[in-house]
């Protein structure tokens, strides 16, 4: 019985594709007012050409570190602004713990409504900037 070899998980469909870096297609899931929309596929544009969001790179980095720690991913794990919490393996308990970690790190308070709309690291960073600027 063959066990799964890394990188050849589903040979008939994605041969030799490894997922140690962000995938070539950028799937962005939009969550607006708690409603979940199917993923949109963007062409592979580098993140610096995206429409600029409010969060600074420093904020994004801090969020990435908190996420890495919570999900025990290792310091060199590829976590970027576009990383989706669900795709990184975060379940609901992880997400709540991440939000708590963000509250402590940034001195903010996150409403449950806002917490539900966070799907990516970037979403979290943008929300943090908004909450900080309100303080």
Partner 1 sequence: MLWHYCKLGLKMKMHCFTQKMFCTSSLSPLQLPSRMETHLWYVLPNEVKSQSLLSQYVDLLSPIEKDHVFSMRGDELQKGALLARALVRTTISRYQIHSRVSPSSLVFRKNIHGKPEVIWEQSDDWHPPSLHFNLSHTSSLIACGVTVGSPIGIDVEEKQRTTKNNILSFAKRYFSCEEVKVLSAISDPEVQRHEFIKLWTLKEAYVKALGIGFSGAPFNTFTIRVGAANSNPEGSAIVVVPLEKPTNLTTNWQFAQVELAGSHYAAICRQNDGLSGGAMEVIVRKTIPLVEEHHVTTIDPIVPVDDFS
Query: Please, what is the minimum distance in Å from the beta carbon of residue 27 to partner 1?
Result: 5
- Catalog residues that contact partner 1 under the rule CB under 8 A: 1-4, 6-7, 9-14, 19, 23, 27, 34-36, 38-39, 69-70, 83-84, 86-89, 91-93, 96-97, 100-101, 103, 111-113, 115-116
The Cα-based distances of 82 to 8, 25, 56, 63, 73 in angstroms read 25, 11, 14, 12, 16
Residues marked active site are found at: 91
Q: Residue 41 is inside which H or E element, if any?
A: strand 40-42
Residues 6 or more apart in contact with residue 28 via CB below 8 angstroms: 39, 40, 42, 82, 120
Query: Please, what is the minimum distance in Å from the beta carbon of residue 25 to partner 1?
Result: 9
Quickly list H helices, the chain.
Answer: 57-70, 92-106, 112-117, 121-134
Judged by CB, which is closer to partner 1: 23, or 47? 23
Query: Please, what is the minimum distance in Å from the beta carbon of residue 109 to partner 1?
Result: 10
Judged by CB, which is closer to partner 1: 10, or 52? 10
Judged by CB, which is closer to partner 1: 24, or 52? 24
Answer for the pair 54, 129: CB distance below 8 angstroms, yes or no.
yes
């Amino acid at each position: 019985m063959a066990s799964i070899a890394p990188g050849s998980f589903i040979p008939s469909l994605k041969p030799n594709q490894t997922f140690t870096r962000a995938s070539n297609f950028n799937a962005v899931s939009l969550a607006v007012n708690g409603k979940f929309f199917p993923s949109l596929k963007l062409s592979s544009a580098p993140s610096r050409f995206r429409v600029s969001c409010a969060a600074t790179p420093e904020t994004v980095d801090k969020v990435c570190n908190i996420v890495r720690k919570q999900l025990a991913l290792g310091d060199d794990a590829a976590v970027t602004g576009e990383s989706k919490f669900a795709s990184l393996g975060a379940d609901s308990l992880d997400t709540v713990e991440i939000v708590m970690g963000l509250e402590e790190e940034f001195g903010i308070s996150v409403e449950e409504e806002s917490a539900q709309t966070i799907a990516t690291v970037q979403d979290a960073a943008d929300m943090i900037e908004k909450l900080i600027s309100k303080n």
